[in-house]
Every structure is written in structure tokens, then in C-alpha cells.
């Protein structure tokens, strides 16, 4: 009657073992570490590389506490990374340049190196990393970090879209031999100025054919038409721009090695960015806010034009740029290639002079364009310019010596290794579609985060201990089984958070403590139902069986209602409330398993195999007084 089939006992045992394994890294001490990630699926890290790197670091008086390798294959892509743990931050900081040099020697140049804090497990437990066991990700309020509220400036991208449309209209007008004075973008409006009113009918017909409407502007000295755009046109531009910027921010943040960042849209024109564990607010602002658009243009080699530029008369269609040594160069405005055609970018060192450089790998389209550029302009100079919101920096202007067909570009100049790494990061992640302004910034210190963790854990431990003491005193052995079930519930919740890498925040800890109080309700219902059956004259075996069976419906109903509320919070909220909802929903599901399946397994093991069972330890059974 009170016996499980063998598979159920195995299920309970496996769930406890697996949960324990995934929770272990969370309780290990975090140590300063360096994580190296390969961007090339053909490059995988192995023990030979790891041991060789450790020996080189040891020769430089830097001891590696531990290392672990992670290789995971997804479809045809292999994600490979290696992490070195150190005793202190000084060793970690000093080892970065040594590791970079060592990787470049063995042709592992296409790698990202980021500073992280990793759990240092004993070497015999390194298998936990292979199964993907990681510490629970902590939110900004627990780990410390930076918070930004970014506001989009849509004016540049709307102007660019209108300019593109105006160029298309000009092209059509020229093909149709339509006379017009000008097509200009003014105050985010597209204005066509006509030579005379007789051209209006033809122009309006052409505009209608391409899906555009126009109206004649009054109170102007010229005959002007205003192109009318509906609200959906501007709304689509804004939505596409904000989606692209969120995607680019995600890529840049991932390159920084930030664990579980929060990047989400707020209202129609704002983005919230939270970076746990990052405390260099200046560096974070520089990485997030830069547009970083790469442009390749030709240098103006006309002697007359250069002489005019020297005297302050810059020819139309050209722009003057300065080198760091204050010499100048005249560059044509025509953009031949942009950062949109960049497939990859990584920092390295020039073998000839050991100076930092940036390697750029172009996509197929970019490779064809660059091949044509270099073939048609042999002996001429090429300008590589990095464009930001308010600045345009000339990086280099090399002479084209031969046709380049491999689609690889090398950038060198007056930059240190960190600047080269940052430039590669920005180029690799892509340029922002439109500028963003930081309107709010906060820096949450790690000390405050540690204080929140201590207070949250203390409150959870106090509540957990109080529940266990009460339940054991009141229900005796069945209370002890309930306490074990509650412990398993806590273990399951933490392991699921680790497996899913869901971010645990301060409200999440409160949900954890609250869930422990709610989870014990199921065991109270079961224990009281068993007592009720014993009061009604049932034998112990029957009372146990009926108690679990009859209490199940009530447990299911109560947990379903709690789960519905949790799902509603999860669906319609964000930020701290969403963090509360995640832990709450997970807790409801794990409590149903632990309070019914796990506790029943314990009861079955203890009482299910006894013959002639006469009594059970479930506390004092209060009988009603019979009159």
C-alpha cells in the first residue's frame, strides 16, 4: 500500500544528486579569473594549451590556482573557452598581456579575453564545468555594478532615411526628364521645390506611383511640395533603430564578459542597461555610447585640390583630416565601404615591430567591394576613418600596393593594446543605428551588494530554521520528513536557478523566503489529513495512504492559484518584480514535487516495509470529546 516502484526512488535520488552538483559552484569562493573565448569555431582549447600557458605564467612569478576548459558543440558551431583562476587581482591583471602574447604565438589571435570572477573548485571537481554547472547569476542589487538609462536620438536616422528617399526620387525624376529646382530635407520634412506649377501634375503622378503623397506648401516664396508620411513610417524607423541598438548593446556587453546583463526597452525611446559586476562607469559609458562606424574612403590625390586645402579652401566633396603629428590629409566624402560589411575584428600585434594592430575580416560582399577598390586604385592612398557622434578620427591612410582579394584589412596607428582591443570590440559588435544620450546613471558598490546578500540570507536562514523547529516539535517524525522535504525544495530551487542562469535579485531572495513558508503548507495539509484518518479509526497504513491521496487535490488547487498569480507577474512586469515572479513560479513547481513525491518516498521507506504497523510518530492526535 505504501510502497513506491523502484523508478520513483531512483527519480528522487537522482534529482537530489543532480541538484547538489549544480548548486555546489554557487557556494564556492569566487576568485579573480581570466576567461578566453574563441570567436573561431575551428579553434578549440585543450589541456596542452592550458598547461603550457600555466608554465609560462609561472616563469613570470604568476601562479594559476586552477583552470578549466569548456567546449560545447551547437549544431556545426563549437563554443570553446578556457578560464584561469588566480589568487589575487594583481596576478590576474599582470597575466593578461602575457596570455595575449602566448596566444598570438600559437595562432590563437581570434580570441576575446575578459576579466571575470569564477568559482575555484578543487581540480577533481572540474567535471562540473563540463556539465555546465555555474554559480547563480546575481542581479545588480546583490552583485553591485552600473545602471544606465539611455535615451535615443531619432533625428539623425530619420534624416538619413529621408535623404535616401530623396536620392531615389531624384534618380526617378532624372530618368523621366522631370524638371525641379531642388529636393531637400528640412526639419524632418522632405521638400521638393519646383521650377513652375505646371510640373506639379507630372510630379504628383510619379510620387503616387511609388506610394507617396504630397501637398503644396503655402506662404512660401517658391513653389514647394511637402511629401506626406504617415505615422507608421516614422514608427517603423524608430522601432527598427531601437531594436538594432539593443542588439548592438547586447553584443558589446557580451564582449565585456558581463554575466546576465539586463538590457530592455522602456517606453518608446529609452533603453535600460544594468551591468552586474562592472564598476568602471567611465569605461562602460565609453563602450556603450560610442557609435563606432567604420568608413573607408579614397584620399584626394589631386595636387591643385591639396594646395587649395592648405590655404584654407577645401574643395567641394572633400574633407580635411589631421594625423597625430599635426600633418593633414584631404579625403573624399564618397564612402566606398562601411562597418556593415565587417564579419569579424580582433586585436593583435604586428610581427615586424610588436605594435598593437586590429585585424578586420570582411563578409562576402565587403570582400568583393574591397577587391575592386584595391584593384582599381593601385598606388593610391586609402583612408580608414572611425566615425562617432561628434568626432571623425582618421585611423590610418596606407598606400594600396596590390590587389587584396582575401577580404582581410589590417589597421595600425598610434594606439596601445587596450585601445586596439576596444576598437576591435566596437567594430566586431557593429555600429549603433543612431546616437544615445545617458540621462541617468547609478553605480551600486559591491559592499552594498554583499550587505544585501548577508541580510537576505540571514532572513531566509532564520525563517527556514524557525519552520523546521516548529514542524519537528509539532509533528515529530513526520515533521522531520517534512523538514527534509523543505530542504530538498530549497536545493531544487537553487539548482534550477543555476541551470537556467536566471538572475537572482533582492526581491528574488524575498520570494525564496516566502516560498519556504508557503511550501510547508502542503506538508501541514498532508499531516493533518493523516491525523484526521487516524481519529476516524483507520489503521496507520490506510491513514498514510488516504492522507496523501485526499490532500493532493487541495495542494494542487492552492499551488495552481499561486502559479497563476506568478505567471501574471512574469508576463506583465519587468525589473525587480519580474525577478520576484521568476523565483516564485519556480518555487511553486519545486514545492509540489518535494512536499508530495519526496516526503512520500521518505515515509514509504520508513513505514512502508513494516508488518503489523500499530502506530506512527505524527505528534499528538487530538480526539473530539464524545458527549
Neighbouring C-alpha atoms within 13 Å toward the C-beta of 491: 22
- Whole-number Cα distances in Å, 568 to 107, 263, 494, 580, 590: 51, 21, 22, 12, 19
pLDDT at res. 526? 92
Predicted confidence (pLDDT) per residue in 222-249, tens digit? 778 888 887 788 888 888 888 888 888 8
With helix as H, strand as E and coil as C, how does 262-315 read? EEEEECCCEEEEEEECCCCHHHHHHHHHCCCEEEEEEECCCHHHHHHHHCCCCC
Cβ atoms of residues 400 and 329 within 8 Å: no
C-alpha cell at 495: 539548482
Cβ atoms of residues 226 and 255 within 8 Å: no
pLDDT at res. 48? 81
Q: In what order do the strands lie in the sheet with 111-119?
A: 64-74, 77-86, 30-38, 111-119
Cβ atoms of residues 143 and 449 within 8 Å: yes
pLDDT at res. 599? 92
Q: In what order do the strands lie in the sheet with 342-349?
A: 342-349, 356-362, 408-412
Nearest to 264 by CA among 280, 279, 277, 275: 275
Cβ atoms of residues 412 and 396 within 8 Å: yes
Predicted confidence (pLDDT) per residue in 455-510, tens digit? 878 888 888 899 999 999 999 999 999 999 999 999 999 999 888 877 788 888 88
pLDDT at res. 484? 94
C-alpha cell at 457: 540570507
C-alpha cell at 505: 535579485
Q: In DSSP terms, which residues pair with 64 in a beta bridge?
A: 86
Q: In DSSP terms, which residues pair with 208 in a beta bridge?
A: none
Backbone Cα Rg of the chain: 33
| Residues 563, 569, 574, 577, Cα dihedral to 10° | -80
The structural domains of the chain, ordered by start, are 6-11+445-607 (1.20.1640.10), 29-134 (3.30.70.260), 155-233 (3.30.1360), 239-440 (3.30.1360.200)
pLDDT at res. 255? 63
Cβ atoms of residues 544 and 603 within 8 Å: yes
Question: Which residues of the chain carry a pLDDT beneath 70?
Answer: 1, 38-43, 71-79, 104, 106-112, 114, 218-221, 254-260, 279, 291, 324-326, 389-390, 413-414, 445-449, 574-575, 623-627
Q: CA 46 to CA 48: how far, in whole Å? A: 6
Cβ atoms of residues 250 and 160 within 8 Å: no
- Whole-number Cα distances in Å, 85 to 33, 94, 96, 118, 258: 4, 13, 12, 7, 17
- Region of 372 on the Ramachandran plot (φ > 0 left; ψ -120 to 50 alpha; else beta): alpha
Q: In DSSP terms, which residues pair with 507 in a beta bridge?
A: none
Neighbouring C-alpha atoms within 13 Å toward the C-beta of 601: 19
Predicted confidence (pLDDT) per residue in 171-202, tens digit? 888 887 877 788 888 887 888 887 777 777 77
Residue 208: count other Cβ atoms within 10 Å of its Cβ: 11
C-alpha cell at 296: 573607408
Q: In DSSP terms, which residues pair with 559 in a beta bridge?
A: none
Q: In what order do the strands lie in the sheet with 328-338?
A: 318-322, 328-338, 293-299, 382-387, 392-396
Q: How many residues in the chain?
A: 627
Amino acid at each position: 500500500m505504501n510502497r513506491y516502484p523502484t523508478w520513483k526512488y531512483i527519480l528522487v535520488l537522482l534529482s537530489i544528486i543532480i541538484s547538489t552538483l549544480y548548486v555546489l559552484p554557487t557556494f564556492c569562493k569566487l576568485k579573480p579569473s581570466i576567461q578566453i573565448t574563441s570567436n573561431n569555431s575551428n579553434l578549440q582549447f585543450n589541456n596542452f594549451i592550458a598547461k603550457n600557458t600555466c608554465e609560462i605564467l609561472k616563469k613570470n612569478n604568476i601562479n594559476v590556482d586552477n583552470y578549466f576548459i569548456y567546449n560545447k558543440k551547437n549544431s556545426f558551431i563549437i563554443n570553446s573557452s578556457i578560464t584561469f583562476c588566480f589568487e589575487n587581482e594583481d596576478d590576474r591583471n599582470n597575466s593578461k598581456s602575457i596570455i595575449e602574447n602566448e596566444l598570438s604565438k600559437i595562432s590563437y589571435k581570434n580570441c576575446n579575453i575578459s576579466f571575470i570572477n569564477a568559482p575555484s573548485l578543487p581540480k577533481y571537481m572540474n567535471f562540473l564545468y563540463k556539465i555546465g554547472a555555474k554559480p547563480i547569476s546575481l542581479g545588480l542589487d546583490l552583485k553591485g555594478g552600473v545602471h544606465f538609462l539611455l535615451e535615443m536620438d531619432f533625428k539623425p536616422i530619420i534624416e538619413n532615411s529621408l535623404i535616401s528617399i530623396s536620392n531615389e526620387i531624384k534618380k526617378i525624376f532624372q530618368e523621366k526628364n522631370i524638371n525641379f529646382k531642388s529636393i531637400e530635407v528640412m526639419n524632418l520634412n522632405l521638400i521638393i521645390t519646383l521650377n513652375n506649377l505646371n510640373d506639379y501634375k507630372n510630379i504628383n503622378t510619379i510620387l503616387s506611383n511609388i506610394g507617396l503623397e504630397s501637398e503644396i506648401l503655402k506662404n512660401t516664396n517658391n513653389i514647394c511640395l511637402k511629401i506626406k508620411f504617415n505615422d507608421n513610417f516614422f514608427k517603423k524607423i524608430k522601432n527598427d533603430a531601437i531594436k538594432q541598438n539593443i542588439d548592438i548593446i547586447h553584443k558589446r556587453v557580451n564582449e565585456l564578459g558581463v554575466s546576465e546583463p539586463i538590457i530592455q526597452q522602456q517606453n518608446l525611446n529609452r533603453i535600460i542597461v544594468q551591468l552586474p559586476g562592472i564598476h568602471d562607469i567611465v569605461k562602460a559609458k565609453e563602450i556603450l555610447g560610442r557609435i563606432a562606424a567604420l568608413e573607408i574612403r579614397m584620399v584626394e590625390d589631386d595636387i591643385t585640390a591639396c594646395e587649395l586645402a592648405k590655404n584654407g579652401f577645401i574643395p567641394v566633396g572633400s574633407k580635411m583630416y589631421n594625423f597625430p603629428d599635426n600633418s593633414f590629409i584631404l579625403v573624399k566624402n564618397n564612402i566606398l565601404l562601411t562597418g556593415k560589411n565587417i564579419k569579424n575584428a580582433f586585436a593583435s600585434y604586428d610581427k615586424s615591430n610588436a605594435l598593437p594592430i586590429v585585424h578586420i575580416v570582411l563578409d562576402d560582399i565587403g570582400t568583393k567591394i574591397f577587391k575592386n577598390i584595391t584593384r582599381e586604385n593601385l598606388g593610391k592612398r586609402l583612408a580608414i576613418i572611425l566615425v562617432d557622434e561628434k568626432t571623425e578620427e582618421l585611423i590610418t591612410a596606407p598606400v594600396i600596393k596590390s590587389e587584396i582579394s582575401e577580404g582581410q584589412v589590417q589597421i595600425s596607428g598610434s594606439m596601445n593594446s587596450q585601445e586596439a582591443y576596444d576598437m576591435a570590440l566596437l567594430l566586431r559588435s557593429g555600429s549603433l543605428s543612431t546616437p544615445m544620450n545617458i540621462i541617468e546613471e547609478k553605480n551600486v558598490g559591491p559592499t552594498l551588494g554583499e550587505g544585501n546578500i548577508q541580510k537576505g540570507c540571514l532572513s531566509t536562514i532564520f525563517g527556514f530554521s524557525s519552520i523546521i523547529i516548529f514542524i519537528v516539535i509539532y509533528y515529530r517524525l513526520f515533521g522531520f520528513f517534512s523538514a527534509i522535504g523543505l530542504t530538498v525544495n530549497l536545493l531544487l530551487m537553487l539548482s534550477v536557478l543555476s541551470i537556467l542562469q536566471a538572475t537572482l535579485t533582492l526581491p528574488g531572495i524575498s520570494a525564496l523566503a516566502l516560498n519556504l513558508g508557503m511550501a510547508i503548507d502542503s506538508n501541514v495539509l498532508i499531516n493533518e489529513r493523516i491525523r484526521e484518518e487516524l481519529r476516524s479509526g483507520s489503521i496507520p497504513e490506510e491513514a498514510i495512504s488516504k492522507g496523501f491521496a485526499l490532500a493532493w487535490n487541495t495542494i494542487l488547487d492552492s499551488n495552481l492559484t499561486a502559479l497563476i498569480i506568478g505567471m501574471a507577474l512574469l508576463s506583465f512586469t519587468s525589473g525587480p518584480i519580474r525577478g520576484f515572479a521568476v523565483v516564485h513560479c519556480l518555487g511553486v513547481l519545486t514545492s509540489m514535487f518535494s512536499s508530495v513525491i519526496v516526503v512520500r518516498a521518505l515515509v514509504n521507506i520508513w513505514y512502508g516495509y513494516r508488518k503489523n504497523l500499530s502506530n506512527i510518530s505524527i505528534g499528538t492526535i487530538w480526539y473530539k470529546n464524545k458527549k
